[in-house]
Amino acid sequence: MRYHIDTGLIYEKFRENGECPLCEIEKKAQEQFVHEFLNDAVMEDDSRISVAKHGFCEKHFDALFSGKNKLSVALQVLSRCDAIEDLVAPVKSAGKAKARAAEILKAKDDCVICDLLNKSMEKYYKTIAQMFVKEREFFKLLYSSKGFCMKHYAELLRYSGSAFPMQKEYLKTLSEVQKKNFDKIKTDLKAFCDSHDYRNA
Ligand SMILES: [Zn+2]
Ligand SMILES: [Zn+2]
């Protein structure tokens, strides 16, 4: 069985022992995709076609726009504008307004970077489950980690089947780590709130 993705970045981010190593992995993967769409991807036909078809969500448009290559962003957005011309055709009846609104909102959230990122993150979730089974060192790192944000905890649960034949043990470890750190966050929050309560002055 081969891993879905290189394990180097997973080890690096788990060793940093922050609040959610998967948020850090996702951030890094996202930076790489944004970099590609500001550089080489502009020149590739496949990529131009994908951009025209899906466009960029608000978040990733902002990330591209705050980069240095404005011409690259302009060229890609222009291809997208050609593809969504229909969305600005006259709305001829009240009955069509709702349908058009739904189409526009759907197009607005479509995003070529989100798609690539989701596919890439799926490989990380599966690889983490496999590493739990195969690498003793990783098991220890996971067990002593600070858990995950709720989104990434949910994704790890969803792809826990990749820990076969140790899915049950994997789920037990994930749940224990998450619960322990959830309780710690609650204790910390309570201590912070109490310290601002005048009755405790
Ligand atoms: Zn996270
Ligand atoms: Zn996006």
**What 3-state DSSP class applies to 166?**
coil
Q: Which two tokens stand for residue 175?
A: 């749940």
Do residues 140 and 88 make contact, with C-beta atoms less than 8 angstroms apart?
no
54, 110 Cβ separation under 8 angstroms: yes
pLDDT tens digits, 87-106:
999 999 999 999 999 999 99
Burial grade of 128 (CB within 10 A; 0-12, 13-18, 19 or more): buried
Which regions in the chain score pLDDT beneath 50? none
Ligand 2 mean position, distance from CA 140 (Å): 34
Calculate how far, in angstroms, residue 61's C-alpha sits from the geometric centre of ligand 2.
7
Q: What is the pLDDT of residue 1?
A: 62
How many other CB atoms sit within 10 Å of the CB of residue 115? 14
* CA 196 to ligand 1 center in whole angstroms: 29
Which residues sit with Cβ closer than 5 angstroms to ligand 1, an ion? 20, 22-23, 149, 152
Q: What predicted TM-score, i.e. pTM, was given to this entire model?
A: 0.89
Which ligand is closest in space to the CA of residue 112?
2
Tell me the C-alpha distance between 119 and 160, whole Å: 16
